[in-house]
Structure formats: C-alpha cells, structure tokens
Amino acid sequence: MSAMAFGRCTLKELAITPTTTKVDARTLERVLMSAGAELGNILEVLEVHWVLEDEILYKQIFAVLARFRSLRTLRLYRDSPPPPPHLPPPLLPLPSTSSPLFSSHFSLLNRSSPSFPPTPSAKSRPNSVSVSPDMSLPRLQERSRLALWQKSCPALRNVVFLSGAEWRIRPSLPGRSASPVLEFIGYAL
C-alpha cells in the first residue's frame, strides 16, 4: 500500500477483490487497515468484493472507516452467495422519530423519482420508530449502519451495500439541524 501511495499518479480509487473464497476475515482486515493507513488521505472510492458473512464485513468497515479521511464512495459487492450465518444478525438501534436522522427523504422507485418523507405516526411515543410503509427492515438496518459510518467518515457521500441498495448522504441544508440527510436511491445495477 505504501508503494501505491508514493507512486507517480495520485491514486483515487481502490478495488479489493479476493482471488479465492478461502480468504479469512483477518486477512481482509489487515488489507483494509493498511489501505486506510497509507491511502486514507487520498483515496476517494473504495470497492470491496466479499465472500464471507455480511456482518463480518460491516464490522470491519466500521472499524477502519475513520482512517479514510477523503473517502466519498464506498461500494460493497458480494462475489459469491453468502454463507449461512453462524449467529442471527445483530439488531442495530433505530433512530427515534425525534432524531434528525429521521427527517431524511427516500426515493424508492428510481433515481429520477420524487422524494417523499416518511409518514409520522399520530401517536408516537418517544423512542418509537415510525417509518414509511415502504421501508423494510433491511433498509432500516442499512440506514442505521450508514448513520454510524458517516460519523466515522464525514467525507462519505455514497454507499452501495452488499444487498445492492444504494444510499446517498447529503449535507444538511443551511438553517436546519447539523445532521446529514440519508437518502435511499434504489438498487445499483
């Protein structure tokens, strides 16, 4: 990684693709840590192809994301069918309806469709979550994960998850809260 950092051309994009399905999580973690340490100031696009359980990759990305200070786009792709999970996926805390993160808009049909806000519940309790009926549990988990990742890497603007779901992070508008707007775009092709 250090040789790439000091090369003649400025490296802006990096794709990490395992050459075998026998790559373990520790090896990928070392590659990601090294890439973040050496290329974190210049890398704008990181693409990771994955062959193990989804949750393993998501934990590793969260652990190293702060090293990538210039990262604007993160793309995660599955190169093989996912193996059966050893444990059920962890439940991430979902933002409350009073959270600024819940003020985002969702474009559910395609990139050119209009955005519309989630429907608030008339009798929502504090800490209860009210969402658009079109927002599935996997999208809510991705949204929660994305909110955490954006805090670790403030430059992050676009993420494609292993599911193929693409999200955009837009900075908050002037005069509004300091929280960014998280927008579900659709599915990456």
* Inter-residue contact 55 to 161 (CB < 8 Å): no
pLDDT digits (tens, 9 = 90+) for 107-148: 333 333 333 333 333 333 333 333 455 668 889 999 999 999
Share of the chain above pLDDT 90, in %: 48
Q: Quick check: pTM over 0.75?
A: no
Residue 103 vs residues 120, 132, 155: alpha-carbon distances, Å: 10, 12, 20
Fold designation for 2-95+136-187: 3.80.10
When the pLDDT of each residue in the chain is averaged and rounded to a whole number, the result is 76
Three-state DSSP class for residue 96: coil
Give the confidence band of 175 by pLDDT, cuts at 50, 70, 90.
low
Provide the pLDDT for residue 37. Answer: 93
75-90: average pLDDT: 70
> Token pair for residue 8?
């003649």
Q: Would you say residue 166 has pLDDT above 50?
A: yes
Q: What does the domain layout of the chain look like in residue ranges?
A: 2-95+136-187
